[in-house]
Structure 1
Amino acid sequence: MSSKLVELIDKLCPDGVEYKEFGKLAKILRGASPRPISKFITLDKEGVNWIKIGDINTGDKYVTCSKNKITEEGAKKSRFVKKGDFILSNSMSFGRPYILAIDGCIHDGWLSISEFEKYFISDFLYYLLSSNKIQKVMAQKASSGGTVQNLNADIVKNIELPLPPLAVQEEIVRILDTFTELTTELTTELTTELTARKQQYEYYRDSLLINNKLSERVLLNNVIKKGCSGGTPRKGEEKFYLNGTIPWLRTQDVKFNEIFEVKSFITEEAVKKTSAKWIPSNCVIVAISGATAGRCAINKIPTTTNQHCYNMEIDETKALYKYVYYCVCSQYEELLSRKQGARGDLNSTLITGIEIPLPSLKEQQRIVDILDRFDTLTNDIKTGLPAEIEARKQQYEYYRDKLLTFKKLERENIN
């Protein structure tokens, strides 16, 4: 905290700051959609900007353009917002604030926030609404019994916000702007480094595995001790899922990773009466259905899987499971080219029919050690570059939230 900010707080609000419901400090309204919207979309350059969720990229602060426009007639049936107003998404990934850099209209998936200038500097309000504390409050208030509801205008109106003097807000914005710039610069450098390391990793992986001309090449099937698909117990059968304790791995968990835990479980009854069977740890698992087909993983715990996973137990006398995993990962594009049917599925024959180089076990271990180091650097969220990027993000959020936390002024001290 800067000395100037400390001086301002000591001078202007030594006993704390007043908190008020947001609805008393700003005008908060729900958007509106003219229906059917297709009737009001226009190609006329003089049309009114029609601002949609898809017009905004993750991480944006400002809304600078809209892909569509609506007619003046449509605008009369919608909610008009002007440059400088805020909008919040009120469903799905709700609560993220954006500042309008254009005029336009918003549909009923947005809330508009305006007429706050008497109480808040725009950038201060942006930082405040983006803070973890306020985001958490919005998420909690928009949930009922664990079910996510819409973030309606009344919820946002009733959120209590601190109201520090404008001079304090200005200094906080100055500090956070500087910190944001430094954090963005460092994160960009780390991200650039991460991209370079990933390219280097792919080069070495392809050199060692795809372009390896020195080792004998064999069909993947030759190094598999046992292969099987999983099974999905009928969803309507409560006895297969209720209070289940047996790990059940789904295809969405298979994403070029080592899996140490799963979020879904089935019962002993499901294992006895369905095709969902246990597989040992350290199998190479390939997703075989639809959009996930071709992705692979290693289960680090014994588990069962759904029917869209093909599970391969590797013959350790011929190949290391981690080596085979890297080989399968390196042939992702080849697996994609083999997909069949309307959904783009794979099967055991298509997977086990790919060729892999098969050097000695000692050479396999050397290759695994090299690729493990690159994998840690580029993917490990605990020790690699992703961890460093995440640490910078958390550091920024910590100091931002600390600067935006104020002692609440007791009622008897409010004039």
Structure 2
Amino acid sequence: MKLLLCWRIVVSDLRAFVEHKCPNGVRFQRLGDIATLVRGNGLSKKQLIGSDVGAIHYGQIYTKYSRFTTTTISRVDRDIADKLVVVNPGDVIVACTSENMEDVCTPLAWLGEEPIVTGGHTVTIRHRLDPKYLVYWLGSQAFQRQKRAIAGGVKVIDVAARKLATVMVPVPPLEVQSEIVKVLDRFTQLEAELEARKAQFSWYGHMIFPEEGECEWLSISDVAKRVSSGGTPSARNPDFYDGGTIPWLRTNEVRFQDIHDTAVYITESAVKKFLGKVDTRKLRDCCYLWRIGRQICGECDFSDNKSTLLQY
């Protein structure tokens, strides 16, 4: 929650900065008016065994690189490089052919110090923008909507350079582009850290909770005092809610954490009509499971709605 709040503050500050620098709004321009788009040609995987010039094959954009790179994993001989499209530092390469709509036009910014080359099924964008800003924008939902309108093909999806040149790009001042990049870089780093934490948690979970056969395994009913379901008093009946004093736990309050109170309270009549079968008014020290697998530990007396309750 604190992390989400901090992120909202950052985004709010960025929005204020953009409004200050662009009081009349951000100008949109055709990509073809602010950049030169060059369709690639040639370059097979068999040619990626040279040693002279760095090269990026369109398939590698999908499988070997992220959004930006300063090095290439492949090189080609000089005589082959002379026949290919040159990619200068700061240029953005777009893989314009894919088997699915989601991946087509995946971008890669070349941030190395020397020119490299690329081949067929790519479009090299030589532009006047911050290269990382352009890559982030090409990954945005705003671009994805425009892309669907210009892409062609059924089994193989392709976007022609002349059609890619027609998309409208927001072009704030370079100072604003740079600030946007800083914020998105921080968010990307945070994403990577969260993924690393998930992997670490998964590893520790495997170590702590052994596979079946390494220890005694029991069903939930063997370790729980009771497994039961709740009920939902009708929201149309005020007698079930007005003046209620019994905490009522709803599924949207189940967030993988301990719970000490609930947002809604119900009356005794609601408990008797909908929850009387299992006497859910005293559910301290229990594990509450929602249908999709979320759980919390209850540390107060409450009633629950239509989910699974484990008391132990």
The alignment's TM-score, normalised by the length of structure 2, stands at 0.57
1:214-249 superposed Cα distances (whole Å, 9 cap, x missing partner): xxxxxxxxxxxxxxxxxxxxxxxxxxxxxxxxxxxx
Determine if contact 2:65/2:108 at 8 Å carries over to the other structure: no
Q: Which of 116, 126, 133 is residue 104 of structure 1 equivalent to?
A: 116
Question: Counterparts of 2:181 and 2:73 in 1: how far apart (Å)?
Answer: 31
Q: Which of 49, 55, 59 is residue 50 of structure 1 equivalent to?
A: 55
Determine if contact 2:87/2:124 at 8 Å carries over to the other structure: yes
Counterparts in 2 of 1:13 and 1:187: CA distance versus 1, 3 Å: same
Letter in 2 for 1:169: Q
Q: Which of 74, 80, 86 is residue 80 of structure 1 equivalent to?
A: 86
Question: Counterparts of 2:25 and 2:89 in 1: how far apart (Å)?
Answer: 32
Counterparts in 2 of 1:154 and 1:384: CA distance versus 1, 3 Å: farther
Partner residue of 2:167?
159
Partner residue of 1:204?
211
Determine if contact 1:48/1:75 at 8 Å carries over to the other structure: yes
- Map of 1:307-346 to 2, 5 A cutoff? none
SS in 1 for 2:54: strand
Answering whether residue 134 of structure 2 is matched by residue 129 of structure 1, we say no
- Map of 1:11-410 to 2, 5 A cutoff? 11-33=20-42, 38=46, 42-43=49-50, 45=51, 47-56=52-61, 57=63, 60-92=66-98, 93-102=103-112, 103-114=115-126, 116-117=127-128, 120-143=129-152, 148-198=156-206, 200-201=208-209, 203-207=210-214, 365=219, 383=293
1:152-189 superposed Cα distances (whole Å, 9 cap, x missing partner): 21221111111122232222222222333333323321
SS in 1 for 2:164: helix
Determine if contact 1:8/1:167 at 8 Å carries over to the other structure: no
Counterparts in 2 of 1:124 and 1:65: CA distance versus 1, 3 Å: closer
SS in 1 for 2:117: strand
Determine if contact 1:51/1:66 at 8 Å carries over to the other structure: yes
Letter in 1 for 2:211: Y
Deviation of 1:58 after TM superposition, in Å, equals: 6.2
Question: Counterparts of 1:51 and 1:108 in 2: how far apart (Å)?
Answer: 10
Deviation of 1:106 after TM superposition, in Å, equals: 0.9
Determine if contact 1:63/1:100 at 8 Å carries over to the other structure: yes
Determine if contact 1:55/1:66 at 8 Å carries over to the other structure: no
Counterparts in 2 of 1:189 and 1:143: CA distance versus 1, 3 Å: same
Pairwise CA RMSD: 3.6
1:19-53 superposed Cα distances (whole Å, 9 cap, x missing partner): 1111111111111115x775x5554x3x1223124
- Aligned pairs, how many? 215
1:310-357 superposed Cα distances (whole Å, 9 cap, x missing partner): xxxxxxxxxxxxxxxxxxxxxxxxxxxxxxxxxxxxxxxxxxxxxxxx
Of 129-138 and 153-162, the range deviating more from structure 2: 129-138
Question: Counterparts of 1:41 and 1:147 in 2: how far apart (Å)?
Answer: 27
Partner residue of 2:265?
none
Determine if contact 2:58/2:118 at 8 Å carries over to the other structure: no
1:181-228 superposed Cα distances (whole Å, 9 cap, x missing partner): 333323321232123324555x332425xxx8xxxxxxxxxxxxxxxx
Determine if contact 2:58/2:119 at 8 Å carries over to the other structure: no
Question: Counterparts of 1:125 and 1:89 in 2: how far apart (Å)?
Answer: 14
Question: Counterparts of 2:74 and 2:194 in 1: how far apart (Å)?
Answer: 35
Counterparts in 2 of 1:368 and 1:73: CA distance versus 1, 3 Å: farther
Determine if contact 2:104/2:157 at 8 Å carries over to the other structure: no
Question: Counterparts of 1:76 and 1:112 in 2: how far apart (Å)?
Answer: 16
Counterparts in 2 of 1:71 and 1:368: CA distance versus 1, 3 Å: farther
| Bigger helix fraction | 1
Determine if contact 2:84/2:117 at 8 Å carries over to the other structure: yes
Letter in 2 for 1:98: L
Counterparts in 2 of 1:184 and 1:71: CA distance versus 1, 3 Å: closer
Question: Counterparts of 1:206 and 1:365 in 2: how far apart (Å)?
Answer: 14
Question: Counterparts of 2:116 and 2:65 in 1: how far apart (Å)?
Answer: 21
Letter in 1 for 2:39: R
Q: Which of 2, 8, 19 is residue 10 of structure 1 equivalent to?
A: 19
Determine if contact 2:68/2:132 at 8 Å carries over to the other structure: no
Partner residue of 1:302?
none
Question: Counterparts of 2:49 and 2:65 in 1: how far apart (Å)?
Answer: 29
Determine if contact 2:45/2:57 at 8 Å carries over to the other structure: no
Q: Structure 1, unaligned stretches of length 5 or more?
A: 213-362, 371-376, 386-415
Counterparts in 2 of 1:63 and 1:6: CA distance versus 1, 3 Å: closer
